[in-house]
Chain A
Amino acid sequence: MSETLLRCEGLTRRWGGLVAVDGVSLDFALGQVHAVIGTNGAGKSTLINMLSGEIPPSAGTVALMGEDVTGWTQPRRARAGLGRSYQRNTIFPNFSVLENCRLAAQATYQHPWAWWQAASRCERSLGAAREASARAGLNDALDRPAGLLSHGQKRQLEIAMCLATSPKVLLLDEPLAGMGAEETERMLALLSELRAGHATLLVEHDMDAVFRIADWITVMVNGAVIASARPESIRNDPAVQAAYLGGH
């Protein structure tokens, strides 16, 4: 077992009487793509939001690289190496592709008091931005306004902005949503390339993609984990088949 970068224990979120996430304990290890699957409303997004720090948990803890970060804000966790992408596109549509990535990269070198220095000449953030957009396959579109990209390219940009902050852990919320076959292939190639240097949490509805790329799969139903194992065991797990896969 390789090094665990992100771990949650007994993570619970209640909204009034509803338990959205119920005592979830999971490990995310370096070099692994850990997929979390489940029907709509199973609590996957709430789980991601608690891990990233957007929603405080009702109970339970989150540890990032061995340190308890449960009380940390989202920006602080992000600076400590927790990157996330969103299900909906959250790019800056009026900025160029490069500026989207540069602004994300600037988070690691903020220096806001140096107001006489032009951001567009900030070599540190530019370097990270160029590298991230190249990795995400956006080299040809650097100067285009992000709002004019195709849907697939916007999803790539989401990942590039995430990478630009040099995270150790990637929380990816449905990176394949709405993508065509070719775009899906490209994204999967990118995800397997990123596998080695990161601990990746992948929330995804596309089951073929999940079973192709995941090293570990966790299945959630009604906020609770009903199975967490290697893909081949998940595929044959009768409880999972009954609850979710429907004989996939």
Chain B
Amino acid sequence: MTGMPWGKQAFVAAAALALAVLPLLTGSFGIDLVTKIMIFAILALSLELLVGMTGLVCFGQAALFGLAGYAAVRLSPESDSASMWWLLPACIGVSGLYALFMGALSLRTKGVYFIMVTLAFAQMAYYVVHDTPLGGGTDGIYLYFKPTLAIGIWTIVDLDKPLPFYYLVLVCLLGVFAKLALLARSRFGRALAGIHANEQRMRAAGYSTYPYKLAAFVVSGCIAGLAGFLFAVKDGFVNPELLSWHQSGAVLIMIILGGLGHLRGAVLGAFAFTLLQELFQSEAVFGPFAKHWHLSLGLIIIAGVALLPNGLIGLPALVRQRLFGESK
């Protein structure tokens, strides 16, 4: 719990700085890849609020992510670009509302039933976009005109250009990280930590725990919505796979791989997972075996979870312990 606040802050500052100067060192492929990773990091942070901070294992995060993406495409006018000032809140609102609906019902269950019910709600959303005219079917739908972020005629960020968009995503990531870091140390965050540790004790002390968990669920849904919006704008395209349970599973693996209970872990996990995926998919490295990337990725994740019980975030402590026999 106490940890080392200076080390933490230095790590976060160094990482933010590295992300800020990265586009100067890499080409368009790097910018595109890291933009995607940062969007997944925002999504992973939204799930960390539920799993790591509140102890609610949600297996439906992809629905909250994908719905905002679909909203971004569907709410944009067909022959003109929308203003981000209203489109972004609207997309976050769609995910927030679905989170309210999903949370209000699923939070009446606990443990493995909660996992199953959240999965069911996510599948429901998946089939709505997959099988109704609203979603455009398996092929997905295109966003022909990216939204604008402007005051009057002055464009603040041109979302069509990869580099400005990269910095917009970075600002969003840092903002979400800061927001959740503040939340974690607030009275609300401490109450969530108490609910995670022992919900019964919290009720005995006088906390109505259901509204707390529901609020966490809705905040998480809104953050996932932000990630979904950014994802749709980045590619100018959405398809039902965004809402699939594979995607929910991938986000869960990200935060477990990175280290549950730490915001840095969620970001680290998003980077590690996506980079590993890129590596194993690369034919330049693995040749024809690259098409079996699921297998290699699965094996490395199993090894990671077995060897790093606290995730990547626990690696330095583990190394220190092995090398110097320091005990915690």
Chain A residues with CB under 8 Å of chain B are 52, 54, 73-76, 78-79, 83-84, 86, 90-96, 99, 102-104, 106-108, 110-120, 122, 125, 145, 161, 164-165
Contacts and interface: CB of A to CB of B under 8 A. Distances in A.
B55 to A, nearest CB: 12
A110 B185 CA distance: 14
Contacts of B186: 112, 114-119
B204 A103 contact: no
B198 A110 contact: no
B201 A110 contact: no
Contacts of B208: 73, 75-76
Nearest to A74: B203
Contacts of B194: 92, 103
Contacts of A120: 185
Interface residues of B, number: 26
B206 A165 contact: yes
Nearest to A108: B206
Most chain B C-beta atoms within 10 Å of own C-beta, residue among A91, A103, A104 = A103
Contacts of B197: 92-95
Contacts, number: 96
When A and B form their complex, which 4 residue pairs have the shortest distance between CB atoms, in order from nearest? A78-B206, A107-B206, A112-B188, A79-B206
A104 B262 CA distance: 24
B68 to A, nearest CB: 22
Contact of B187 (A54, A83, A122): A122
B190 A115 contact: no
B1 A119 contact: no
Contact of A103 (B182, B190, B200, B215): B190
Given A95-B1, A115-B182, A165 B205 contact: yes
A161 B205 CA distance: 8
B66 interface: no
Interface of B is mostly: helix
Given A103-B190, A118-B186, A164-B205, 6 more contacts: A86-B201, A92-B198, A93-B197, A102-B190, A111-B187, A118-B185
Contacts of A110: 187, 191, 207
Contacts of B190: 99, 102-103, 106, 119
Contacts of A118: 185-186
Nearest to B186: A115
B277 interface: no
B212 interface: yes
Interface hub of B189, B201, B206, B212 (most chain A Cβ within 10 A): B206
A74 B204 contact: yes
A95 B188 CA distance: 16
Contacts of B215: 112
B257 to A, nearest CB: 22
Nearest to B200: A90
Contacts of B198: 90-92
Nearest to B197: A92
B1 A78 contact: no
B282 interface: no
27 contacts: A54-B200, A73-B203, A73-B208, A75-B208, A76-B208, A78-B205, A90-B201, A94-B1, A102-B190, A103-B194, A103-B205, A107-B206, A108-B206, A111-B187, A112-B186, A112-B191, A113-B188, A114-B186, A115-B182, A115-B188, A115-B189, A116-B182, A116-B186, A118-B186, A120-B185, A164-B205, A165-B206
